[in-house]
Structure 1
Amino acid sequence: MTTLPTYFPSPPQGVWHLGPLPIRAYALFIITGIVVALLIGDRRWEARGGQRGVIYDIALWVVPFGLVGGRLYHLATDWRTYWGPGGAGLGAAVRIWDGGLGIWGAVALGCVGGWIGCRRHGIPLPAFTDAVAPGLVLAQAIGRLGNYFNQELYGRETTLPWGLEIFYRRDPSGYIDPHSLDGVSTGQVALVVQPTFLYELIWNVVVFVILIYVDRRFALGHGRLFALYVASYCIGRFGVELLRDDTATHIAGIRINSFTSTFVFIGAVVYIMVAPRGREAPESLRGKEDAAEEPAREFATVAAGEASTAAVAAGSDADQGEAEDAEVGEAEDAEGAEAEEPEKAGEPEAPGAEEPEADEAEAEEPRAEAPEADEPEPTPAQDSAEPASAAEPSKAPRGRWRLRRNRPSNS
């Protein structure tokens, strides 16, 4: 019994319509690939020490430049389709959503957009390319599914069991052509071909795994991981080009993309050999915004330190003030006790609280020494206190009555 090969079919169509709005599978997969690349690149950028979200800002420059560059490369290498005899013309040349992007043009002009974005943010371009390289090659793998839905970029006819069935498609005008992008499959197989889109998709996934492993194992930086991505992709692309049979520009019988892959591979290997080892310092990935915020953070830190020091000093001053108040209180109590000693001998003595007034009076007018004859005659109860007063004139009470007796002219 003969077993027929088990081929797998192409999708019945590559575009759907929501009213007048066409939804193209090619565009959906391109957008999905870009989103995946940005998500992976942003996480890797943050892990390397950069500021989260910067990748999205730079992507505003990279994506438009990359799309334009990819289209320009496609037009340059497949110019006969648009500008040759019976070509599609300028209108078809600008319809990028119909497919037709060259990876090398996208990478080249995308790097120009990346350079502009990195320069505006003050971060090194090589570090940026290293962060996005794994996500970029995975985005290419996702984008190849768009070629699958468009029935394009396939290889030569084959009888291999995994051959791809290419169907005839009928477009809205009724024209039947296997290359119709807007058509719907008639169910009739036109040919069975090598699924080169699938080969490149698988190779891109392998390169993605290699990049992740090598980056973790050897910590590549300064653009060397991006160069490894370029070199690895060139190897797979060169092999795929040998299997493709679609319309393309040839030089000496060799497809132009084979030449491009060869030269780009050599350049990538040379760059890996001469580029600096190791990775960039995390501080260099934070850009101008972080550098502008650094003085403010330092000022806030210094201000917080000074506030803490002032609080400690204020607490120490308060404690010292309380200690001084306590000492002054003790001194006043001792002075009050000395002032009360004459009262124990029966002499009328002014309270200790009035002593400051006596001091002020002494400051205004010097106290005159009273003669011994002016001393009041003691009462019989004060006889025992007079000798002590005469023997120790320095301890005479400074009461208000003493000041009046010393100044008879003012009375």
Structure 2
Amino acid sequence: MHPILFRIGAYPVHTFGVMMMLAFAVGLWRAHSAAKRQKGEPGDVPPEAILDAGTWMILAGILGARLMFIIVDWSTYRSNILSSFRLWEGGLSFHGALFGGLLALIIFCRLRHISLLKITDLMAPSVMLSYAIGRIGCFFNGCCYGAPTNLPWGVRFDDDGHWTVPSHPTQMYSTLLSLCFFGILVWLERRKAFDGQLLCWYIILGATERFVMEIWRGGVTSTVVALGLTDVQFLCLSMMALAAIGLVVLRRAGRLSSTGNTAALEVAGH
């Protein structure tokens, strides 16, 4: 653990905050680069729109991630509401970040008349990469750790002045798995067949990552509901199912659109 990276005079610079800034910067750069590689077809997303949308998503994503984390771990925060505003101490939720960021992006796209599916496809790999980097900040901050373990790589974390028993470093598990999923999304990006494809796969992979992490977190910040699964895991399963349905629906819509465009070109040719 290394929560304070360095100090400027009497002011500490927290590792978590630095890693979050790095995550946002890398994510925006990568998405902006992807936008510049578009083929120049009608409806393509302007590269500058990525930077504007990213700013909206970052602010809304942080707010949503923090709110969801507080709701899930309300027993910790209800006795000290002011601690809810200490973002530098860590404590963010994947689901909250996803919902908050997506809501902001929907509003942004409606105001700027940009295709939501196209811009989310451009951003999906970058968001996964940013998430992987951000989780490193969680590790150094000592938040979001897992259940106790006897494995040799178990880590003791400082929890409000009390050292935990060796626990799963789920933050680093999350980083490694997210990097693998980032690679999958990049592979899919090069083979994209229809708008919305990468968005749906991001939701499936992101929910899979969170579902798997719950196994090693042992219900630390969530409640076991049924079948040995937590409420968060049931939410993840619901997200996977909806995204899978989305893949089928959007694929069919893409084929119909492609068929319609081909027919229109044939008519125009005659």
TM-score range, shorter chain: 0.7 to 0.9
Superimposed CA distance per residue, residues 330-378 of structure 1 (whole angstroms, 9 cap, x where no aligned partner) = xxxxxxxxxxxxxxxxxxxxxxxxxxxxxxxxxxxxxxxxxxxxxxxxx
Superimposed CA distance per residue, residues 36-59 of structure 1 (whole angstroms, 9 cap, x where no aligned partner) = 111111111222233222211122
Q: Determine helix, strand or coil for the equivalent of 1:193.
A: coil
Tell me which of the two structures has the higher relative contact order, counting C-alpha pairs closer than 8 angstroms and 6 or more residues apart: 2
Segment drifting more, 129-138 vs 27-36: 27-36
- Does 2:209 match 1:236? yes
Coordinate RMSD, CA, aligned: 2.2
- Does 2:73 match 1:98? no
The residue number in structure 2 matching 1:130 is 121
- Does 2:247 match 1:269? no
Q: Determine helix, strand or coil for the equivalent of 1:17.
A: strand
CA distance in 1, matches of 2:161, 2:205: 39
State the AA in 1 paired with 2:197.
R
- Does 2:221 match 1:248? yes
The residue number in structure 1 matching 2:48 is 53
State the AA in 2 paired with 1:121.
R
Shift in alpha-carbon separation, 1:66–1:220, aligned structure 2, 3 A: farther
- Does 2:147 match 1:156? yes
CA distance in 2, matches of 1:116, 1:21: 37
Deviation at 1:23, TM superposition (A): 0.7
Q: Determine helix, strand or coil for the equivalent of 1:106.
A: helix
- For residue 72 of structure 1, the aligned residue among 67, 89, 97 is 67
Select the structure that is richer in helix: 2
Q: Determine helix, strand or coil for the equivalent of 2:123.
A: helix
Shift in alpha-carbon separation, 1:157–1:37, aligned structure 2, 3 A: same
CA distance in 2, matches of 1:96, 1:22: 14
Deviation at 1:120, TM superposition (A): 2.7
State the AA in 2 paired with 1:216.
R
- For residue 107 of structure 2, the aligned residue among 107, 111, 116 is 116
Structure 2: segments with no counterpart, 5+ residues: 259-270
The residue number in structure 1 matching 2:162 is 177
Deviation at 1:259, TM superposition (A): 1.8
Shift in alpha-carbon separation, 1:244–1:251, aligned structure 2, 3 A: closer
- Does 2:197 match 1:227? no
Deviation at 1:233, TM superposition (A): 1.9
Segment drifting more, 132-141 vs 121-130: 121-130
Structure 1: segments with no counterpart, 5+ residues: 1-10, 170-174, 179-189, 282-411
The residue number in structure 1 matching 2:176 is 202
Superimposed CA distance per residue, residues 81-116 of structure 1 (whole angstroms, 9 cap, x where no aligned partner) = 111xxx2x2211122222111111111121121122
The residue number in structure 1 matching 2:262 is none
TM-score, normalising length from structure 2? 0.84
Deviation at 1:240, TM superposition (A): 1.5
Deviation at 1:241, TM superposition (A): 0.4
| 8 Å contact from structure 2 (residues 91, 144) kept in 1 | no
Structure 1: 4+ residue segments shifted above 4 A: none
State the AA in 2 paired with 1:63.
I
Shift in alpha-carbon separation, 1:263–1:140, aligned structure 2, 3 A: same
Deviation at 1:121, TM superposition (A): 2.3
Deviation at 1:216, TM superposition (A): 1.0
Deviation at 1:14, TM superposition (A): 3.8
- Does 2:2 match 1:28? no
Superimposed CA distance per residue, residues 236-281 of structure 1 (whole angstroms, 9 cap, x where no aligned partner) = 2212101114732314264332122111111111111111337x99
CA distance in 1, matches of 2:158, 2:126: 35
| 8 Å contact from structure 1 (residues 127, 221) kept in 2 | no
The residue number in structure 2 matching 1:62 is 57
